[in-house]
Chain A
């Protein structure tokens, strides 16, 4: 069935370092890959997304890369700040029109 695997489940970095979160997906028909950030007690919010016709997208300190052949995509955060601490979810679109989410990565940025 449709599945998205996300690693690592927890990630701790020092302020100013980079953080990388990786996801793999199973459905070769997936063509849309968003990333959501969820702060404690808040709703998930879209931070960046990428479509299957591009390999990389960047928005300030955040970038996402996509390898369709290998069916994996990654989130890169550079120059991390304490306010980047949150749970991050990757997702992939499914044939049926919904998003399948990874299990989440809890990122902790230590000052």
Chain B
């Protein structure tokens, strides 16, 4: 596609429920990244996929968070048993290869846990 597409744009969920966030990167971009942005805060790295290599999961805050990337394209970030502190904007970005080609960000998913 023309840009990075994320869905849903907004998600309100009850504490304890599982949620899935979707990211569709720019066609041909082999690198895909997930970041979290809490209100008024910076960009916290979560996970990074590069081609067929094992993902860099070093930023995932707990084992309730997981992500997969199927067929080298679409990625899904799953948060199990959501907590109120999970409320944030989840941003996905893709890049032509590695980070030094620059990122294109999606519009994000605003997650609110009530």
Residues A97 and B43 in contact, CB atoms below 8 Å apart? no
Of the candidates B56, B99, B108, which one forms a contact with A99 in the assembled complex, judged by CB atoms under 8 Å apart?
A: B99
Interface assignment of A98: CB less than 8 Å from any CB of chain B: yes
Residues B105 and A43 in contact, CB atoms below 8 Å apart? yes
Q: A34 to B58, alpha carbons, bound, how many Å?
A: 22
Per-residue CB proximity of B55-66 to A under 8 Å, as 1/0?
A: 010100000000
- Given the interface contacts A43-B91, A45-B105, does A97 sit within 8 Å of B42 by beta carbon? no
Q: Tally B residues with Cβ within 8 Å of A.
A: 22
Q: A99 to B33, alpha carbons, bound, how many Å?
A: 9
Which residues of chain A are near B107, meaning CB under 8 Å? Answer: 42-43
- Given the interface contacts A44-B91, A89-B43, A104-B42, does A97 sit within 8 Å of B102 by beta carbon? no
- Given the interface contacts A43-B91, A44-B43, A104-B42, does A97 sit within 8 Å of B99 by beta carbon? yes
Interface residues of A in 83-111 (CB under 8 A from B): 89, 93-94, 96-104
Which residues of chain B are near A36, meaning CB under 8 Å? Answer: 105
Interface assignment of A51: CB less than 8 Å from any CB of chain B: yes
The interface of chain A, by Cβ under 8 A from chain B, is: 31-32, 34, 36, 42-46, 49, 51, 89, 93-94, 96-104
The interface of chain B, by Cβ under 8 A from chain A, is: 31, 33, 35, 41-43, 45, 48, 50, 56, 58, 91, 98-100, 102-108
